[in-house]
Amino acid sequence: MAEPLLQVKHLSVVFGKRKSAFKAVNDVSFDVCRGETFGLVGESGSGKTTIGRAIIRVVPAQQGEIIFDGQRIDGRISKELDRQVTSRIQMIFQDPMASLNERAKVDYIVSEGIYRKYPKAQREKLVEKALNDVGLLPEFASRFPHEFSGGQRQRIGIARALIMQPDFIVADEPISALDVSIRAQVLNLLSDLQKARGLTYLFISHDLSVMRFICDRIAVIHKGVIVELADTEKLFKHPLHPYTRALLSAVPLPDPISEREKVLTVYDPSVHRYETDLPRWTELEPGHFVHANAAEEAEYRKLLEDE
114 or 221: CB nearest ligand ATP: 221
Q: Where are the alpha helices (H) located in the chain, listed in sequence order?
A: 48-55, 79-88, 106-111, 120-133, 150-162, 180-197, 208-214, 232-237, 242-249, 256-261, 294-306
Residue 201 CB, shortest distance to ligand ATP, in Å, is 16
By a kind-dependent CB cut-off of 5 to 8 A, residue 15 interacts, out of Mg ion, ligand ATP, none, with ligand ATP
Binding to Mg ion, residues 13-72 (CB under 5 A) = 49
Regarding 15 and contact with ligand ATP (CB under 6 A), the answer is yes
Distance between CA atoms of residues 110 and 123, nearest Å: 10
Distance between CA atoms of residues 277 and 5, nearest Å: 34
Regarding 20 and contact with ligand ATP (CB under 6 A), the answer is no
Residue 295 CB, shortest distance to ligand ATP, in Å, is 28
42 or 166: CB nearest ligand ATP: 42
By a kind-dependent CB cut-off of 5 to 8 A, residue 44 interacts, out of ligand ATP, Mg ion, none, with ligand ATP
Binding to ligand ATP, residues 185-224 (CB under 6 A) = 206
Of the candidates 42, 96, 157, 166, which one interacts with ligand ATP according to CB under 6 A? 42
Strand duo 168-172 + 288-292: pairing: unpaired
Q: CA distances (Å), 124 to each of 53, 99, 119, in order?
A: 29, 22, 9
Residue 98 CB, shortest distance to ligand ATP, in Å, is 12
Residue 38 identity (one-letter amino acid): F
With CB atoms as reference, the residue minimizing the distance to Mg ion is 49
Residue 207 identity (one-letter amino acid): D
Residue 13 CB, shortest distance to ligand ATP, in Å, is 8
Distance between CA atoms of residues 294 and 291, nearest Å: 10
Residue 285 CB, shortest distance to ligand ATP, in Å, is 27
Give which of 63, 66, 89 is closest to 77, Cα–Cα. 66
Binding residues for ligand ATP, rule: CB under 6 A, are 15, 24, 42, 44-50, 206
Binding residues for Mg ion, rule: CB under 5 A, are 49
